[in-house]
Amino acid sequence: MTYDLLLIEDQALVRESLASLLNSTGQFSVSYSLDNVRDAIPLLQQHPHLDLILCDYHLKQDTAETLLRNRHLIPPIPVVLLTSHFNAMALQHCLSLGAQGFLFKESGIDEFIHALTLIANGGVFFSTPETPLSGAGHDAAHTRLDLQLTDTETEILKWLATGMSNKQIALSTGKSSETIKTHVTRILKKLQCKTRTQAVTKAGHFNLL
């Protein structure tokens, strides 16, 4: 199966190189490529059957956020954001706006293929420099079992993905801040992560969110 993409990238060389690379895989076809979001919205309205939108997060004329904020104007096509610089707040903001993927331009083609295929089939994928594609070949259910996350820890993990503090999560769940802190510590240990952002990203890899 070949997935049809719209690529939005304002650097011509990067846009052409990425389109050529994706087309060469035989699994993806960059049907349309643009340098701005403004022209993307009417194009998407005319071509609602595209499988993916691949958009640079740091566009000069307008931003990827403009595309996400106008999701009501376009078909429900998954949006994958590209970046060269990781920003935890940006990742959390993109999650809240409905992005299904966050990828680095420095990623290898294997990671791109895995991520885009996963997203095109209804999954999510968020990568960071600290958590590369390790574990991508593992079965999600098997990974969940190995990590031994409790139902409560899985719930807290989803709250972490919103970017809330321990105090905010405590208020939302009716638990004490100390209880939330304990759960977060256990989650980080089980996911083998040092930070909350790494934990959320890794959870995205394993479909735990």
- The 10s digit of each residue's pLDDT in 144-196 is 434 578 888 888 888 888 778 898 888 778 889 999 999 999 999 888 888 98
The string over 149-179, giving b where at least 16 C-beta atoms fall within 10 Å of a residue's C-beta and e elsewhere, is beeebeebbebbbebbebeebbeebebeeeb
**C-alpha closest to that of 77 among 107, 101, 95, 57:** 101
* Residue 155 structure tokens: 């719930």
Task: Label residue 50 by pLDDT band (50, 70, 90).
Answer: very high
Model's pTM, two decimal places?
0.63
Taking residues 51-71, what's their average pLDDT? Answer: 87
Taking residues 7-13, what's their average pLDDT? Answer: 93
Class of CATH domain 3-126: alpha beta
Side chain identity, residue 203? A
Is pLDDT larger for residue 114 or for residue 128? 114
Rounded Cα distance between 120 and 98, Å, is 14
Q: Domain residue spans in the chain? A: 3-126, 140-205
Class of CATH domain 140-205: mainly alpha
